[in-house]
């Protein structure tokens, strides 16, 4: 069947069932959708804000038992601003879930997240910690300041207080500095089977370089402009890959192939390569 005719790609209309304010710029929206409730950590959905736009957002939680799905969204432009104005009961549309997911089979994992990238990683940490032979998870999250540091409590619960680390650029919580610096120190101190990372791409690049030096595997979730989300339009190209279809989670061997672009180049809405 053609990719655009699948049930996953069909736009479903649903209503917002809850809105939670996470920070001055970030809110979590929950809605019901049976298909998206099956999403795995790392997958994303296309959220249609009627009359405005359709945008890709990672799933930050999903529960098949009651068909609920959550997305955690930072207000940065027209569509995200309009979504932030939505209240319980308001109508939105959804397609997906799309893309691949984190593998989640490591015995000892380091999670490194920045900004809203912390959201899908928290979903991953919850799933890892709920497995029968739960993995050891150490998490490092970073933000500009304490107010923008997302999901502290959820991550402490999933990883254990002793395995939770945070950085803020202004030193208002945890270590003063950026997540990649603290992650490098942890990678120097102990062995991890894998690093799961999501957030600003310059942070992902640093994590990839630190991990590569030590031969530690990486899975990184990347963002690019998306339109179709099913591998047709080409707007999400990075190197030889389409982020919507081949990603959004990329493994070490793939990251090595896009090293020249990672953290340096992205594409604008016209498909032109522009620096980050």
- What is the smallest separation between the CB atom of 45 and ligand FES, expressed in angstroms? 13
Q: CA neighbours within 13 Å on the CB side: how many for 254? A: 17
For residue 161, give the nearest of 171, 146, 142, 174 by alpha carbon: 174
* Site membership for ligand FAD, residue 246 (CB under 6 A): no
Given the complex with ligand FAD, which of 76 and 91 has the nearer CB atom? Answer: 76
* Residue 114 binding partner per list ligand FES, ligand FAD, none, with a CB distance cut-off of 5 to 8 Å that depends on partner kind: none
The conformational region for residue 51 under phi > 0 = left, psi -120 to 50 = alpha, else beta, is left
Q: Which of 231, 251, 257, 259 binds ligand FES (CB under 6 A)?
A: 231
Which residue carries 């979903």 as its tokens? 123
Cβ contact 195:110 at 8 Å: yes
Distance, CA of 57 to CA of 19 (rounded, Å)? 15
- Residue closest to ligand FAD when measured from CB atoms: 77
* Residue 246 binding partner per list ligand FES, ligand FAD, none, with a CB distance cut-off of 5 to 8 Å that depends on partner kind: none
* Site membership for ligand FAD, residue 80 (CB under 6 A): yes
Stretch that binds ligand FES, among 104-112, 166-174, 205-213, 220-228 (CB under 6 A): 220-228
* Residue 186 binding partner per list ligand FES, ligand FAD, none, with a CB distance cut-off of 5 to 8 Å that depends on partner kind: none
Given the complex with ligand FAD, which of 50 and 77 has the nearer CB atom? Answer: 77
* Site membership for ligand FAD, residue 86 (CB under 6 A): no
Three-state secondary structure of 59-105: EEEEECCCCEEEEEEECCCHHHHHHHCCCCCCEEEEEEEECCCCCCC
Torsion of CA 72, 108, 110, 104, to 10 degrees: -30
User: How many residues does the structure list for the chain?
Assistant: 276
* Residue 229 binding partner per list ligand FES, ligand FAD, none, with a CB distance cut-off of 5 to 8 Å that depends on partner kind: ligand FES
Q: Tell me the backbone φ, ψ of residue 149, rounded to 5 degrees.
A: -85, 110
* Site membership for ligand FAD, residue 77 (CB under 6 A): yes
Structure tokens, 170:
């202004």
* Residue 233 binding partner per list ligand FAD, ligand FES, none, with a CB distance cut-off of 5 to 8 Å that depends on partner kind: ligand FES
Three-state DSSP state, 133: coil
* Residue 150 binding partner per list ligand FES, ligand FAD, none, with a CB distance cut-off of 5 to 8 Å that depends on partner kind: none
- Cis previous bond, 97, omega within 30: yes
* Residue 232 binding partner per list ligand FES, ligand FAD, none, with a CB distance cut-off of 5 to 8 Å that depends on partner kind: ligand FES
Stretch that binds ligand FES, among 62-70, 182-190, 226-234, 249-257 (CB under 6 A): 226-234
Structure tokens, 22:
């996470």
* Site membership for ligand FAD, residue 122 (CB under 6 A): no
* Contact residues for ligand FES, defined by CB under 6 A: 226-229, 231-236, 242, 244
* Contact residues for ligand FAD, defined by CB under 6 A: 44, 53, 55-58, 72-74, 76-80, 116, 119, 223-226, 248
């Amino acid at each position: 069947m053609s990719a655009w005719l699948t049930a996953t790609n069909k736009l479903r209309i649903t209503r917002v069932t809850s809105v939670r304010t996470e920070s001055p710029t970030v809110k979590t929206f929950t809605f019901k959708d049976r298909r998206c409730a099956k999403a795995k950590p790392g997958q994303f959905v296309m959220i249609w804000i009627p009359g405005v736009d359709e945008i890709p957002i990672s799933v930050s939680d999903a529960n098949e038992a009651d068909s609920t799905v959550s997305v955690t969204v930072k207000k940065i432009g027209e569509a995200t601003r309009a979504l932030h104005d939505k209240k319980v009961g308001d109508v939105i549309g959804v397609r997906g879930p799309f893309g691949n997911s984190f593998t989640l089979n490591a015995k000892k994992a380091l999670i490194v997240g920045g900004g809203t990238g912390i959201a899908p990683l928290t979903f991953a940490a919850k799933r890892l910690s709920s497995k029968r032979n739960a993995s050891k998870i150490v998490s490092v999250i970073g933000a500009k300041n304490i107010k923008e540091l997302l999901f502290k409590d959820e991550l402490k619960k999933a990883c254990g207080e002793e395995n939770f680390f945070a950085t803020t650029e202004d030193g208002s919580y945890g270590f003063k500095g950026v997540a990649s610096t603290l992650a490098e120190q942890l990678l120097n101190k102990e062995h991890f089977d894998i690093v799961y990372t999501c957030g600003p791409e310059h942070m992902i690049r640093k994590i990839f370089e630190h991990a590569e030096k030590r031969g530690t595997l990486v899975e990184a979730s990347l963002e690019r402009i998306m339109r179709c989300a099913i591998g047709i339009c080409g707007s999400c190209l990075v190197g030889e890959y389409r982020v919507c279809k081949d990603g959004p989670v990329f493994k070490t061997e793939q990251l090595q192939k896009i090293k020249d672009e990672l953290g340096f180049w992205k594409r604008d809405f016209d498909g032109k390569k522009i620096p980050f």
